[in-house]
Amino acid sequence: MALLEVKNLSISFGGLRAVDDFHVEIEKGCLYGLIGPNGAGKTTVFNLLTGVYKPSEGFITLDEKNITGKKTIDINRAGIARTFQNIRLFRDLSVIDNVKVGLHNHNGYSTLTGILRLPKYYRVEREMTEEAMELLKVFGLDGEAETLAANLPYGKQRKLEIARALATKPKLLLLDEPAAGMNPNETQELMDTIRFVREHFEQTILLIEHDMRLVSGICEKLTVLNFGRILCQGETGEVLNNPEVIKAYLGE
């Protein structure tokens, strides 16, 4: 049984069919890529999967539970977390507090407990701090735990965003162009990080990416979108050697 199953997913904006009959099945533990030219509908698919948009047709099942049209917070609690092409950190919070925001998704306490500083407040905060530090160690950010997120170098901000997403304990992690703005050395380090995340956390990952070196280096399967429709799906090597994919993706 697939961890994520999407069938007949569609949405229109002002009469324009942005995504038309999108379908995919992603097995647990898979590292799956979603590629295509600019404007092909890739981020719109992510927005549909995470509840930013509600589909006009189709359904989404995560771990055999229908999450179609649910609110973003409910979808996150069901097990989908994401990062964004344009990094979205709490820039005025420290590195560790950014991760603790994610941990609050599963390790919270009531507002009254927080206001009154009841014993549970201190216990939960201590446990979350310890867990956050463990996550930061995985990404080599533990030495900068008290640094403002805004003051981290670009590549480390990318890592922090992934760490915060993982703090929500997702079943499926969505990465939206994680290599955007990176130089070749940073991209190679990112590839190593993604592989490590998949293996260390036994994480299922779906990513959007334009860097074909990264896609061919880490993705096991691909879906190619063009004008909101699926052009090709399958094993990475077969897809990238498909003449129609090459023509659409490279604009030849």
What CATH number should be reported for the domain holding residue 31? 3.40.50.300
Same domain, 147 and 116: yes
pLDDT tens profile 40-53: 999 999 999 999 99
Q: At which of 149, 169, 189 does a domain end? A: 169
pLDDT tens profile 80-130: 999 998 999 999 999 999 999 988 876 666 565 656 666 676 687 888 899
Q: How many CA atoms lie within 13 A of 240 on its CB side?
A: 18
Same domain, 156 and 181: no
Q: Is the pLDDT of residue 252 over 50?
A: no
Same domain, 189 and 66: yes
Same domain, 69 and 140: no
Same domain, 99 and 48: no
Reported confidence tier of residue 25, pLDDT bands at 50, 70, 90? very high
Q: At which of 119, 151, 169 does a domain end? A: 169
Same domain, 51 and 100: no
pLDDT tens profile 53-67: 999 999 999 999 999
Same domain, 194 and 250: yes
Same domain, 70 and 3: yes
User: Which phi and psi angles does 150 have, rounded to 5°?
Assistant: -65, -20
Same domain, 247 and 228: yes
* Integer Cα distance of 74 and 7 in angstroms: 20
Domain that holds residue 202: 1-79+175-252
4: Cβ contacts below 8 Å, ≥ 6 apart: 24, 25, 26, 49, 60, 61, 62, 172, 204, 206
pLDDT tens profile 120-166: 766 878 888 999 999 999 999 999 999 999 999 998 999 999 999 99
Averaged pLDDT, 27-47:
94
**Tokens linked to 163:** 């760490």
pLDDT the model gives residue 107: 63
